[in-house]
Chains A and B, each alone.
Chain A
Amino acid sequence: MTDERSAAPQAGDDDLWGWAHDRDDAPPAQVEPEQVATVLVVHNGEGWLPRTLRALAALDQRPGWLVAVDAASTDGSRALLEQALEEGVVDDLLTGPSSGFGDAAAPALEVLADHHRWIWFLHDDLEPRPDALTALLRAAAAQSRPDLLFPKLLAPRRRNHPDLLLEIGQSISTGSRRVLSVEPGDIDQHQQEPTATLGGSTAGLLISRNAWESLEGFDPDLPLFRDAVDLGWRANDAGLTVVTVPEAALHHHQVGRWGDRESAVSDDLPLLDRLSGQRLLMARSPRPTLTALRLSVVSLLTALVMLLGKNLADARTAWRSAGAVLRDRKVVHRMRGRREAQPHGDESGTSDSVSGSAALRPGLWARLAFLVSAGAGAFTDRYREARDDSSGTSLDDLTGDDFTGGRTRARLLAPTTALLVALALLTLWAARSKLWAGSLTSPHLLPAPAGPRQAFAAWLEPAAGHPGPNAPWLGLAALGSWLTAGMPELLVRLVVLGAPLWAGLTFSSLARTLVRRRGSSSVRPDGWQVGLLSAAWGVLVAVLGLVSRGSVTAIAVAVVAPLAASALLRWFDQDRRDSTADLVQGEIWRAPGLLALWLALLGTAQPAFWLVALVVAVVHAVAARRFTGRTLVVGLLPALLSAPWWWRLAAQPARLLTAADPTAAVAAAQAPRPLALAAGRLGEGAPAAWASLAVFAVLWLAAAVVAAVDWRAGRRHGAALLGLALALIALGGWLGRQVVTVDGAPVRPLPDTWVVLAMFVLLTSVLLLVTRGRNAADRPGRDRTDPDRAERVRPDRDRPDRDRLGLLVAIVVSAAVVAGAVGWQLAANQGPLRLAESQLPAHVTSVQDSPRATRTLMVQVRPSGLTWNLTSADSPRWGTGEQHPAGGTPEWASTVQALVGQIAAATPAGDFAQQLSALGIGHVWVNRPTTEQLTALTNTQGLVAAPADRDTTVFTVSGLVSRARVLPEGQTDPVNLAAGSVDPGTTGRLVVAETPDPRWRVEVGGQRVTGAHQQVGATAFSVPLGGQSGTVSWATAPSTWAGVWEGAVLLVLLVLAAPTLGRQRLGRPTARHAGGD
């Protein structure tokens, strides 16, 4: 080494650049390991202490003194320490109290030698890396002269898995939440830099002795948690340097935080943790009482959120802390006293250091960012869970250079994804003609309401003349319209036209669940078999003609059935497992909650699913030989969700057999034959017969093969599923042959739902065969990896044959799917589903939509007879198919039918127009009348004819008909309200052409009209006018209680079905007993 200094020009007063040549010849400061006193605190750590001791023995630099303090352990920890002492792993063994970490470490700190300038605190569940101390000491020797150094804490090691970060330093939020500088669970990529920090964990803390003594150690009122945060905070306030050292890594089991250790300090460690954080804040708050109140409120809110998240433990902790924080005054007072006695800032008394501490705590933006990040993270986590993606890796894992473990295969595009994308394209192409303006309707699909307000009105405003609230599926539709930006029509299009895609997606979810459950090595969750069968289900939905028929309830069944089946499988699974270690807290309710949720949603439209839920619950109880609250959840909650609807169903019991809006379609004279149903021929809307036959014949054949193969292998699943499918077809066929009466209207219960379920069962049986693959289930005997075997079975010698058979079945199904897809596309524009505008001319619909709110009588004359319907701005639409389609009651229907009879006979009565006016009918639309009928109507008093087109004439009823009329006092003939409003000074009664019902609420000029309702025949009611004037409006009183009930039960179901909130344990759970590895 040359003497650079002698070669350099001498620095003098005249040399302005002399400073550049000055060199500090003092050697760089170094902290020798001999200066480090390591204090290992042990308390009942028998389960993890051996690993810790091994790690200490492997340190590349041994500290000058390593003392273990046994804090009154009652297990085998003492013996382990004594052995370690003998082996020289530890230098000394002391005994300490179990009243907290600081108290336990005190005996060791009292006997420190003078040369021990640094203190290194270790936990008994902490495994330092060999270079941990070296890195800490290197950092301690840095130019910044740090006083407190917090290393990087990692999750416990897992073989063939990357290291996961736990924390590198800590801060604290205004709500006493731990604020970490890293995202727990992230892979350690060694990208962190040392930085200032407020504090951290005592695990691995390296502190200079000077700092320790000046700060007087840990606060005794923080015995276990947040003590190092407090220490670091005080250090920062005192102007000391507190930094993180990411290069120094230690694996921490966090047994104290997870409650794996029995502690003498507290029997509720999470509560103590939370309380410690709150004390920390109150001790430093200028207004501790206010802070205590605020923290109490935050705790209450946290308790509520955790309760909703089914995390009862954390909810209980938060709840208890809400009260405890208000009773902590003495402790806080003591802590404040200690703090005030501490030095703050430098000797000049400035508060730069205090403001420096404040800068190390999260600000407003950081808190907001946390909320957003937590929400987004929770969403993506739940999305991954919903996709059944059990991968524990992150994007970093996929892009990292390191081998992250597990078999990987480079893929441009997973087969499942490719097939589902193809399905999406087919779905879009098939729907291309129905993407334009108009209203999507079919005989089974009524037009959507104009907007969300109308959608909610359809749900909450009960139909006049009918008891109880409306069907609850209307509430789901209304809520769904919110999701589509307040456009119910968009919701309908997405649900109906996108049905094949949604069905394919949910089926793929079920398939992945099955693949993972079976642990098949030859079938991947994203493999072509899964993709093929998923696409097959989507194509099946289309080939059944569900989209072309607009059979919404059946579409819902097709989409939801795989989800329900997945939940059912998981429910059966979790009750058969030996260990529910990962099903803590609310997780055990998830599967039954999901199942109950799906069945409840289906039951809102088709009450038969209540019975399905009950049957499933009973079957589970018998099979699992247990009857728990979860059985009741599945068996009863689906029906309870729709409980307000029972009132209406009691009056219309036939509705129990039908799907949503049953009266939307006239009961057909013929019914499809059950054997035709088995071939997927539901009726109009089905594609060509060859397509149906190609798909469903193959499906039945494949299911029969599955049944035979399973039977031969000693399983009964295939045969049972085949029998179930036959039974469902029989049920659908029989129901379809019946005619029931719903509110006086003849209706055929559609077989669609049962046929869909039957086909789902068949495809699922094929799925079971295809996904069986090669796995450990081939070993004879009881095997946990194949949970569907509950008894010893013979060795499967036919494994290779079954694999080939599964492959053959998959290939044949592929061909059928292709044929079905072709048939689907060819028939995409056929069927009754159409995008239709109203047949009525604009001048009619404008009057309907005006405050006059008139109705229109539509009559169509055909050689076979006359058909008619009564329309208005709010009918037909969602929900009007739940009661008589003509006017809403049979009385309306018979009244209007009599009028149409007069048209048919070309003998309208002299008061024909008055009769129409009394019903609020402002127009009569007649298509293809005979000459006689046309002449008779033209010559009818009070009707003005106007041709609409070559075949249609629209007759306007004279007198500006309005649905609401005024009957002035002393007069006998009501007067129409030309503008739909009452003039000032009008007295008398307001007559409204609606079915009489005491629930009607009438408003005039925004004021509610009180006074007794009087019935005016079966088609109108009247209320007294009390001098109000203005626009008239009326509606039935909303069934708010029904909405509240259904919303509450739905919320309960969602909470049960949702993942449990709260911290997730990272790394391998630590065994409580020795030898756990």
Chain B
Amino acid sequence: MRSKLLTLLVVLLSAVALLGAETSPVERPPAAGPAQAAPPGEAGCLILSQGQLMAPPDTTVTGLDTTVVQGGGQAFGVRAPVRLSIADAGSSRSATAALGSRTGLVWAECAAPVTQTMLQLPDPATSDIVLLNTDGTDAVVNLTLYGADGEVIESGARGLSVARRSSRVVPMSVLAPAGEPVGVAVRTSQGRIIATARLSARAGGLDQALGLEPAQRQVVAGVPAKVTRVSLLLTNPGAEPVTASISILGARGAFTPSGQESVELEPMSTRALDLTTAVNGEPAAVRVDANRGEIAASLHVRLGADAALIPASEPSTDALVHAPGGTLHLVNPSDDDITVEVAGQSLSVAAGALVTLPVRAGANRVTGGPVVAVLVSNRGLAARRVLQVRETESGAQVSNDPGLR
């Protein structure tokens, strides 16, 4: 009898235990952590004359010889190429070196080294490429030239060595025919560089511009009022011909320039399109849409004795710039009206329209949109893109997966 009861008890207890296990809470594994805070951002600035560097807070500026450049607050006096270590990595593209010279005003963008980029030059005879290597290892660069009639094969464009922590000027006059625009694809086979297109005084004024990313739609903003000349540079780096549709975005909205609605781009070629008449002395921006593939676009603008080379930029929703005061060009390339906030003001920008706003020197942040923003100098001609602040803390969960093998 006792054993019967014992057995019955065992069965009942087991059943109870099973029910208890069924109703017990499921413990969850600890959630995967989000990506950690980003390390400091890096950037390099091509400084070819004396000027002032305006950078985000907590930026360390060192010369290529690792000498720390002394500066107060967010402004540094510079006269040579420098490297930046920016605590807030997301704003590493907002620093600006305002360089003045007899031949014009230059607002140099500071950017991180890359392994490939695209430059455009209006005339190899009056412009060149400067390769800046801020790393501690040598870099080897290969240039691919896209001229008016297609790719320009030139042996001197391959295997260009740029020593560590130094710069090298590549004169384009010896590589490409004069008088015709040229697009240059810059790729490193070793190391990284900061590639800059530089206009000489003979180009109408000194200026320099960084590289740009080809895309199917390009928006180039920053044409001030009363320009002397506006030339749109288009490069098709692909192997298929491309038809690029041109739109001018002005204060009253977008319009198609008469007789210049579209332009045919042969494979691996570059063309220049004179939009002076179309712009008609008004502040404007240019929108280019390719029917296929990707194209590069920039503007060569002349105003009096000065000139500027303005590359295309992507619409941003949160852009930041540290620069001298000037006029902020806000362009809405989309088909919908947008609202942006700048310096405490809220502005509406109609679809395809351009709005200008004077801003002070220092940090200027543009939120909302998406909007293409370019800061243009009030005196002389210098322009600087206002670029998207990058997200440095990804919300993505990061976890170890032992099954990944």
Contact = CB atoms under 8 A, between A and B. Distances in A.
Interface string A656-694: 000000011111111101110010000000000000000
B14 A941 contact: no
B402 A876 contact: yes
Given A671-B26, A730-B17, A907 B396 contact: no
A739 interface: yes
B21 A730 contact: yes
A876 B405 contact: yes
A864 B397 contact: yes
Interface in A829-874: 838-839, 858, 860-861, 864-869, 871
B24 A737 contact: yes
A723 B11 CA distance: 4
B158 interface: no
A909 B39 contact: yes
Interface of B: 3-4, 7-8, 10-15, 17-18, 20-22, 24-30, 32-36, 38-42, 85, 89-90, 112-116, 135, 137, 190-192, 390-394, 396-405
A734 interface: yes
A820 interface: no
Contacts of B114: 938-939
B1 to A, nearest CB: 11
Interface in A916-940: 932, 938-939
Contacts of B192: 939, 941
Interface stretch (A121-129, A275-283, A594-602, A897-905): A897-905
Given A675-B22, A868-B399, A869-B405, 6 more contacts: A674-B22, A722-B11, A730-B18, A730-B20, A734-B21, A869-B403
A866 B30 CA distance: 16
A665 B402 contact: yes
A869 B390 contact: no
A901 B394 contact: yes
B39 A719 contact: no
Contacts of A902: 35-36, 38-39
A674 B11 CA distance: 16
Given A907-B38, A941-B135, A737 B401 contact: no
Given A869-B401, A941-B191, A746 B30 contact: yes
A910 interface: yes
Contact of B402 (A673, A739, A885): A885
B317 to A, nearest CB: 14
The 8 A-B residue pairs with the shortest CB-CB distance in the complex, in nearest-first order: A865-B397, A909-B39, A726-B14, A901-B35, A867-B401, A723-B11, A730-B17, A885-B402
12 contacts: A671-B26, A716-B3, A719-B7, A720-B7, A730-B17, A737-B21, A839-B404, A868-B399, A905-B35, A907-B90, A908-B39, A939-B113
A259 B17 CA distance: 58
B28 A723 contact: no
Interface in A985-1020: none
B398 A866 contact: yes
A667 B403 CA distance: 11
B14 A907 contact: no
A938 to B, nearest CB: 5
A465 interface: no
A881 interface: yes
Given A858-B405, A898-B36, A938 B400 contact: no
B14 A723 contact: yes
Contact of A901 (B13, B137, B398): B398
A930 to B, nearest CB: 9
Interface string A883-908: 00110000001000110111011111
Nearest to B92: A907
Contacts of A945: 115
A738 interface: yes
A904 B18 contact: no
B397 A858 contact: no
Given A723-B7, A904-B394, A906-B390, A734 B24 contact: yes
A932 B394 CA distance: 12
B396 A904 contact: yes
A897 B398 contact: yes
A208 interface: no
Interface in A789-832: none
A723 B10 contact: yes
A901 B18 contact: no
B35 A737 contact: no
B142 to A, nearest CB: 14
A901 B3 CA distance: 62
Nearest to B7: A716
A876 B400 CA distance: 13
A586 interface: no
A419 to B, nearest CB: 32
B35 A904 contact: yes
A865 B7 contact: no
Contacts of A938: 114-116
A548 B185 CA distance: 52
Nearest to B85: A910
Nearest to B4: A716
Contacts of B36: 897-898, 901-902
B394 A724 contact: no
A664 B190 CA distance: 38
A726 B11 contact: yes
Interface in A702-761: 716, 719-720, 722-727, 729-731, 733-734, 737-739, 745-746, 748
Contacts of A720: 7, 10-11
Contact of B404 (A673, A867, A909, A942): A867
B400 A885 contact: yes
Contacts of A727: 10, 13-14, 17-18
B360 to A, nearest CB: 29
Contacts of B393: 905
A925 to B, nearest CB: 9
A157 B106 CA distance: 120
Given A724-B14, A867-B400, A939-B192, A907 B405 contact: no
B402 A664 contact: yes
Contacts of B112: 939
Interface string A433-467: 00000000101000100000000000000000000
Contacts of A726: 11, 14-15, 17-18
B40 A909 contact: yes
Contacts of A675: 18, 22
A1016 B135 CA distance: 26
Nearest to B401: A867
B405 A865 contact: no
A878 to B, nearest CB: 13
Which one of A726, A886, A906 has the greatest number of beta carbons of chain B within 10 Å? A726
Among B3, B27, B41, B401, max chain A CB count under 10 A is at B401
Nearest to A897: B398
A860 B404 contact: yes
A666 B7 contact: no
Given A858-B404, A901-B36, A865 B27 contact: no
B12 to A, nearest CB: 8
Nearest to B31: A669
A839 B29 contact: no
Nearest to B16: A730
B115 A939 contact: yes
B404 A869 contact: yes
A738 B27 contact: yes
A447 B403 CA distance: 11
A748 B30 CA distance: 12
